[in-house]
Chains A and B, each alone.
Chain A
């Protein structure tokens, strides 16, 4: 399974902080993004950044493996 985490404004739009998605061989970050964005378009319209296992990832072609922790995040506003 892939553990997907959400925070702040994305949680508010989704109504959940996390979900688990079955890991399919060869699944990329782009695939996962598109799959979730199709189900939750209102939440994903504010997603600007992705992270895999705590590291921000800009190349969405990266392949995910079983147990990956993926985060889709809105623009940051700390400080």
Chain B
């Protein structure tokens, strides 16, 4: 089984991730997922590609800690975080987050919390390639 927290170039399978999440406990009654994907338009500009840079070792450590924090904070049964580092075009997946809990409220709240925290805690940077030139994003809407 793949690690619950990963940074990888290749796309992920949501079905495989959810299957892995469910495998940890039959007590899981609610699973919430978030998939972040590339848009073709941002801040008034057409975006043709998005590329990434990361402080890989720290990013992976932070993502692992983020998963543990979420499990503790929301009493989750399990959680998974996968972030791609490659060049993506519109519609392609970037990040997958899943939270599994006994009930839906904890799963939903934890999923939202994890993506919000990832954006401020994990050293990954996104660069948008546009016809007007490339631009690193330094905000996290």
- Report A's interface with B, CB cutoff 8 A: 5, 7-9, 11-12, 46, 49, 51, 54-56, 71, 73-79
Digit string of B55-99 for contact with A (CB within 8 Å is 1, else 0)? Answer: 101110100000000000000000000010000000000110000
Residue of B nearest to A54 (CB): B58
The answer to the question of B125 belonging to the interface, with a C-beta cut-off of 8 Å to chain A, is: yes
Which residues of chain B are within 8 angstroms of A56 by Cβ–Cβ distance?
A: 58
Known: A5-B55, A51-B55, A54-B61. A76 touches B125 (CB 8 A): yes
Those of B98-141 within 8 Å (CB) of chain A: 115, 118-127, 136-140
In contact, B119 and A78 (Cβ under 8 angstroms):
yes
In the bound assembly, the distance between CA atoms of A76 and B126 in angstroms comes to 8
Determine how close the nearest CB of chain B comes to the CB of A72; give it in whole angstroms: 11
Taking chain B's interface residues, is the majority helix, strand, or loop, or is none over half, making it mixed? Answer: mixed
Known: A73-B123, A76-B123. A9 touches B55 (CB 8 A): no
In contact, A9 and B138 (Cβ under 8 angstroms):
yes
B: number of interface residues (CB 8 Å): 28
Taking chain A's interface residues, is the majority helix, strand, or loop, or is none over half, making it mixed? Answer: mixed
- Which of A12, A46, A56, A79 is most buried by chain B, counting CB atoms within 10 A of its CB? A79
Return 30 A-B CB contacts under 8 Å, by A number: A5-B55, A8-B125, A8-B127, A9-B125, A9-B127, A11-B53, A51-B55, A51-B123, A54-B55, A54-B58, A55-B58, A71-B123, A73-B55, A75-B138, A75-B140, A76-B120, A76-B122, A76-B123, A76-B124, A76-B125, A77-B119, A77-B136, A78-B54, A78-B118, A78-B122, A78-B124, A78-B125, A79-B36, A79-B122, A79-B140
In the bound assembly, the distance between CA atoms of A43 and B119 in angstroms comes to 21
In contact, A71 and B58 (Cβ under 8 angstroms):
yes
Determine how close the nearest CB of chain A comes to the CB of B17; give it in whole angstroms: 16
Determine how close the nearest CB of chain A comes to the CB of B7; give it in whole angstroms: 10
In contact, A79 and B94 (Cβ under 8 angstroms):
yes
| Closest 9 A/B residue pairs (Cβ) | A78-B124, A8-B125, A9-B136, A77-B137, A8-B53, A75-B138, A54-B58, A77-B126, A79-B119
